Amino acid sequence: MTLPSMASARLPAEGASRRNLALLAALFGALVIAPWVVNDYLITVLILILYLAYTGQAWNIMMGFAGQLSLGHALYAGLGAYIAAVLFKQFGIAPWLGFLAALPVAAAAGAIIGFLAFRFGVAGVYFAILTIAFAEFARIGFDHLSVVNASAGLFLPVTQHGYNDLWNLRGGPTMFYYVILAATMLAFILCRGLLNSRIGYFWLAIREDEQAARAAGIDTFRYKMYAVMISAAVTSFAGVFYAFYYNNLFPEQVFSISRSIEMILGPIIGGVGTLFGPILGAFVLTGLAETLNSAMVAFGVDLPGAKQVLYGICLLLVVMALPSGIWPWLSRRLGLTDGSR
Amino acid sequence: MPFDVYLNVAVAGILTGLVYGLMALGLSVIFGVVRVVNFAHGEMMSIAMYLAVVLFSGFHLDPLIMLVPIAAVMFVFGYALQAGVINPFITRPEHSQFLLLVALAIIIVNVLLIIFGPDARTIQTSYAYDSFQIGRLIVDASKLYAGGAAILFAVLLFAFFRYTLVGKAVRACADNYTGALVVGLNVNRLYALTFGIGAACVGAAGVMMTLIVDVTPIIGPTYTLLAFVIVITGGLGSMLGALVGGILIGLTEAFAGLLFTPSAKSMFAFGILVLVLLFRPQGILGKRTA
């Protein structure tokens, strides 16, 4: 698949690059001091935004960089969530160590899907549907798996500490906020590093024209595998976070296709293949949803579904007006970059 | 278990599978010609199901009688959707099309939720509990009518594409977009027509589904996924493949429900999908394209 609007991976001009960095510093600076400024409700909204920014960034590695459309990323998050949760609940193993266990499993799941698809020439829409199939497979499988309490759901013990236990991820919203903020920043740095590295250029070449990339001597199979595995591994941490933040896991929710869709709406709206796109998309979409919520309350509309209809209409309008996403358009407007990053 | 049980389950599976097949046929026709994956396919089916429910509960119109009128309404809906909203997207990347159709799906589900509420609706026809006995085989009347109507609808569609001039023009668009433009076909109109036909298929399937299952606003995604599984199993773009895939998945679900647990039945459908994608990616009856 080609993304014509992003065909040029030109390096941004010196001034634009500096402005870009300044914007980044301002954004993260504001996010770091946010808990002192905003109320508890907004913190939970920000956690959701950063969670989606993080997962969007992870998904973007596969789709935005390497051009492989995955519609089943809930699988990797779900594996991370369940592995860390079971290890914690059964053996008291801390979630950070649980993440170390979940990471290779998620990467292996990605590798299996990637291997099967890329070896057998499953590409494009077929590949996307294969990823859905594996996520659905996991959903129904976990629904019947007694180790994880099947469809009855897995619950993490909630202990009322007066303090935040960062090692065991037990604590209040502010702690979770900083955890996901740090994760989002690290994911951004990782993606930026990847994009500017040899592997990143290979990915872009594969995304733009796989046959040409192969002709140029790139081992496309291997680099597509790297993309799936890195994306899956990064996504698995989101699952660990999800498990310990929400304290309950149901296969029906964790592996649901709507989880996968949620993860990818942000980067598509924000701008596929860009570094700011997933973050911007998460802010725009979650902000939109919350604004619609408050508007419904303010106007006294108590109609289930009305909010989602408006949300759907907004999605429709954005995708019709800005086919490459908001960030490429916005950054051109602001004179930040050529919009390719 | 006695042989009878297997036979009965197999017949029920095939009849349900025919309705699935007709639903998937709609998806296959749309993808084969317009090259857009209709991620709102199941949601479009639920519109038709609600139309059938409303006409039945409000005016006592039997779903089998309303099959053609509802399919016609869905045709107009599909035509307008393609002409008005989807057409600019046919040259855009897949993820962009995906987002558009997901947005449409969200709108459809929630409009249905606003109008009809979250409760399951059902149609109690006079023949809901009737059955035919042929030897030791007992066939559910509703399923037999539904399966029969699905075959009839599919045959008409095959005839349309094979023997009518418009049908041939649509196939020409699918075969060669540029060539179709060169010979002066109005491709945009033919695309809209195709989307309309796809919508009519899934609409007709939806009407018949009301004889078999209850309808709620949120059943859409399940059937969208099911349609994908069937179409890929049978071969995307192959009309006969969609029907064969539908029967295969219908049978699989029926036997998985009998031999294991009904809640795990779609796992077997997805299992078949994975096997097909790996060993015959073009599907059972699909043609290999580069």
pLDDT tens per residue across span A186-243: 999 999 999 999 999 999 999 998 889 989 888 999 999 999 999 999 999 999 999 9
Domain residues for the domain of B150 are 16-221
Residue A129 domain-assigned?
yes
Q: Is B251 domain-assigned? A: no
Does a structural domain hold residue A3? Answer: no
Query: Quick check: A323 contacting B, CB < 8 Å?
Result: yes
What is the Cα B176 distance to its own chain's centre?
25
The predicted-structure confidence for A42-90, as pLDDT tens digits, reads as follows: 999 999 999 999 999 999 999 999 999 999 999 999 999 999 999 998 8
Q: Which residue of A has its CA nearest to B278?
A: A120
Is A323 within a domain?
A: yes
Residue A187 lies in a domain: yes
Q: Which of A112, A118, A288, A319 to mutate to test the interface with B (most CBs of B within 10 A)?
A: A319
Q: Which amino acid is at A280?
A: L
Which residues in chain A have Cβ-Cβ distances shorter than 8 Å to B112?
305
| Domain that residue A78 falls in | 12-334
Residue B83 inside a domain? The answer is yes
Q: How far apart are CA A307 and CA A294, in angstroms?
A: 10
Q: Do residue B221 and residue A258 have CB atoms under 8 angstroms apart?
A: yes
Q: Find the helix packing angle between A124-143 and B220-234, rounded to 10°.
A: 120
| Angstrom distance (rounded) from CA A321 to CA A333 | 15
Does B166 reside within a domain?
Answer: yes
In angstroms, rounded to a whole number, what is the distance separating the alpha carbons of residues B126 and B52? 15
ipTM of model:
0.84
Is residue A198 within 8 Å of residue A40, measured between CB atoms? no
Count contacts between A and B (CB, < 8 Å).
131
In a domain? residue B199: yes
The domain tally of chain A equals: 1
Q: Is residue A252 part of a domain?
A: yes
A1 within some domain: no
Q: How far is A264 from chain B (nearest CA, A)?
A: 9
d(CA A43, CA A178): 10
**A contacts of B274 (beta carbons < 8 Å):** 116, 130, 133-134, 137
Would the CB atoms of B281 and A257 count as touching at under 8 Å? no
Asked whether the beta carbons of residue B103 and residue A121 sit closer than 8 angstroms, the reply is no
The answer to whether A265 contacts B102, with C-beta atoms less than 8 Å apart, is yes
User: In Å, how far from its chain's centre is CA A80?
Assistant: 13
Residue B73 identity (one-letter amino acid): V
* pTM greater than 0.90 (yes/no): no
What does the alpha-carbon distance between residue A12 and residue A24 come to, in Å, rounded to a whole number? 15
The answer to whether residue A6 sits within a structural domain is no
**Contact present, A76 and A235 (Cβ < 8 Å):** yes
Q: Provide the number of structural domains found in chain B.
A: 1
* Residue B158 CB-density burial (10 A; 0-12 exposed, 13-18 middle, 19+ buried): middle
User: Structure tokens of A7?
Assistant: 């065909």
Dist CA B85 CA A169 (whole Å): 46
Among residues B157, B131, B153, B150, which one has the least CA distance to residue B142?
B131
The answer to whether position A49 is within a domain reads yes
Q: Specify the pLDDT at position A14.
A: 55
* pLDDT for the residue numbered A116: 87
Q: Is A129 on the interface with B (CB under 8 A)?
A: yes
Q: Which one of B34, B35, B110, B268 makes the best mutation probe of the A interface by having the most chain A beta carbons within 10 Å? A: B110
- Residue A1 pLDDT exceeds 50: no
Q: Among B106, B225, B232, which would you mutate to test the A interface (most chain A Cβ atoms within 10 Å of its Cβ)?
A: B106
Q: Is the dihedral of CA A262, A145, B263, B121 positive or negative?
A: negative
Phi and psi at residue B157, to the nearest 5°: -65, -45
B103 within some domain: yes
Q: Mean pLDDT, 10 residues at a time, over chain B (290 residues)?
A: 82 91 92 89 95 90 89 95 90 88 93 90 82 82 89 92 91 87 89 94 93 89 89 84 92 87 80 82 68
According to the model, what pLDDT value does residue A3 have?
47
Instruction: Determine contact, residues B162/B33, Cβ cutoff 8 Å.
Output: no
Task: Confirm or reject contact between A46 and chain B (CB < 8 A).
Answer: no
B181 found inside a domain:
yes
* Inter-chain residue contact A304 with B114, CB threshold 8 Å: yes
Q: Which residue of A has its CA nearest to B270?
A: A133
B39: closest CA among A139, A315, A61? A315
**Which chain B residue's Cα is nearest to A121?**
B281
Is B226 among the domain residues? no
In a domain, B170, yes or no: yes
